Amino acid sequence: MIDTIHLHDLTVAYNRHPAVHHISGTFAPGSLTAIAGPNGAGKSTLLKAIIGEIRPVSGRVEHGLAPTDFGYLPQAADINRRFPISVLETVLLGAWREAGAFRQVGRAQRTKAFEALAAVGLEGFEGRSIGSLSAGQAQRALFARLLLQDAKVILLDEPFTAIDARTTRDLLDIVARWGAEGRTVIAVLHDFEQVRSHFPQTLLLAREIVDWGTTADVMRPDNLLRARAMAERWDEDAAVCAPAA
């Protein structure tokens, strides 16, 4: 299917040291998949390879999707909230797929932006600076931007880290809504309870695949122990890849 994302023997490296190594598998259209694993397992790197931000050393990512079909939310540490922009303007950045890079945002897009802010619980915050928001409020605004973007595939990198429990519950409800709409969601998560409760599919990663499939099968104690052991014994100096051509 055109919306299926295939990973074919994918290896991605930094300075010739592999961050993810020989990854093969498929994200089916409409699936909700968590990427779990120890720190340094290559989870964020894999997301960046899927959207084309990082070029593989070997292997490939294959799909029939356009760049505008992807919505991507990086880790909070990668987002500059000091930029002088309002909450409404932040959300309207999600309208570029519809409006185009150099076209003025119209009334319809603004209406959708207000609706998105209401959907994430930020009604009345439109004029506030994005930098004035709490961590949880800022994450709500970024989810509103994703709602406006209306992407087929949504990639989330640690979306619930350092935010309050209520915000997490509300945003997980939006993830469930995306799943019900048939969108593909791939999320890097550290909270195994969130993985088990909200994501039917899991890729357990320790630079290599530990297991990939139904969450109940993947998140077994023996797999988690194996993932930790694989991460601890990985010798970066011994696993050197040839640079990309």
* pLDDT tens-digit map of 116-168: 999 999 999 999 999 899 999 999 999 999 999 999 999 999 999 989 999 99
pLDDT confidence bin for 240, thresholds 50/70/90: very low
Give the pLDDT band of residue 108 (cuts 50, 70, 90): confident
Of the candidates 166, 179, 167, the residue with the CA atom closest to the CA atom of residue 143: 167
pLDDT of residue 15: 77
235: left (phi over 0), alpha (psi -120 to 50) or beta: beta
pLDDT of residue 84: 80
Angle at 156 between CA 218 and CA 171, to 5 degrees: 95
Give tens-digit pLDDT for 1-39. Answer: 578 999 999 999 987 778 999 999 999 999 999 999 999
Are residues 151 and 180 in contact, defined by beta-carbon separation less than 8 angstroms? Answer: no
Neighbouring residues of 125: CB distance < 8 A, sequence distance ≥ 6: 87, 117, 133, 137, 141
The pLDDT value recorded for residue 202 is 98
If you average pLDDT over residues 190-196, what whole number do you get? 96
Percent of the chain with pLDDT over 90: 76
Q: Quick one: pLDDT at residue 99?
A: 54
Is 44 a residue whose pLDDT tops 50?
yes
What domains can be seen in the chain, in order of their start residue?
Answer: 1-65+152-245 (3.40.50.300), 79-151 (no CATH)
pLDDT at 237 over 50: no
| CB neighbour list of residue 59: distance below 8 Å, 6 or more residues apart | 7, 8, 9, 10, 11, 22, 23, 24
Instruction: Give every CB contact of residue 13 below 8 A, 6+ residues apart in sequence.
Output: 19, 57, 241, 243, 244
Q: Which residue is it, tokens 């909230």?
A: 81
Amino acid at 185: V
